[in-house]
Amino acid sequence: MTERKPPGVSFESWVEKQIREAQERGEFDDLPGAGKPLPGRDRPVEEQWWLRDYLRREGLPSDALLPTPLQLRKEAERLPETVASLRSEEAVREAVSALNRRIVDWLRAGTGPRVHVAPVDADEIVAGWQAARTPPPAAPSAPEAEERPRRARWWRRRR
């Protein structure tokens, strides 16, 4: 653990002293990446290349950078695709309820940019979910099959 900054010493000189002493002890020797070029130097100059790289490394979607109301709106737009894989109506209603709770919490907090975000209608989402899950109506049977007279079975022909 490093020592505390003594009173009367400027912060900058104290930090510089800490770095110099660590270099003398050899704590910066054999660090990973020593002698290698800095990553990203071959890329075109972007303002926030480091942020794109961080999102890629961490496996985060770029939506994570959006303000809360825009994240909630995007999540509400994607809700039908999200609930499509759920197995029961109760699970669908729970997913809608969880999103609505987060929307209401954001509306009550009143922070961030004022973007209109309305709670999602659970009945509408459930109706869409049920419509997507119902099997298509059975195709009508071929009319030729119904019009043909039934042939007598071989064991009944002998009468």
Give per-residue pLDDT as tens, 56-85.
899 988 888 888 888 999 999 999 999 999
Q: What is the pTM of this model?
A: 0.54
The whole-number pLDDT of residue 37 equals 81
Q: How far apart are CA 152 and CA 130, in angstroms?
A: 44
Query: Is 117 among the domain residues?
Result: yes
Q: How far apart are CA 98 and CA 112, in angstroms?
A: 21
Residue ranges for the chain with pLDDT beneath 70: 1-2, 39-40, 43-46, 135-150, 152-159
The whole-number pLDDT of residue 1 equals 46
Query: Is 126 among the domain residues?
Result: yes
**Tokens representing 66?**
């959006």
The whole-number pLDDT of residue 90 equals 94
The whole-number pLDDT of residue 52 equals 82
CB 117 within 8 A of CB 107: yes
Q: Which domain holds residue 74?
A: 66-133
Query: Is 94 among the domain residues?
Result: yes
Q: Could you tell me where the beta strands, DSSP code E, fall in 46-116?
A: none
Q: How far apart are CA 151 and CA 123, in angstroms?
A: 52
The whole-number pLDDT of residue 132 equals 87
Amino acid at 152: A
Query: Is 119 among the domain residues?
Result: yes
The whole-number pLDDT of residue 115 equals 80
Query: Is 15 among the domain residues?
Result: no
CB 111 within 8 A of CB 86: no
Nearest to 133, CA basis, from 101, 91, 100: 91
Query: Is 10 among the domain residues?
Result: no
Query: Is 157 among the domain residues?
Result: no
Query: Is 8 among the domain residues?
Result: no
**Tokens representing 156?**
């009944």
CB 125 within 8 A of CB 84: no
Distance of CA 45 to the CA centre of its chain: 29
The tally of domains found in the chain comes to 1
**Residue that has been written with the tokens 């609930």 in this structure:** 83
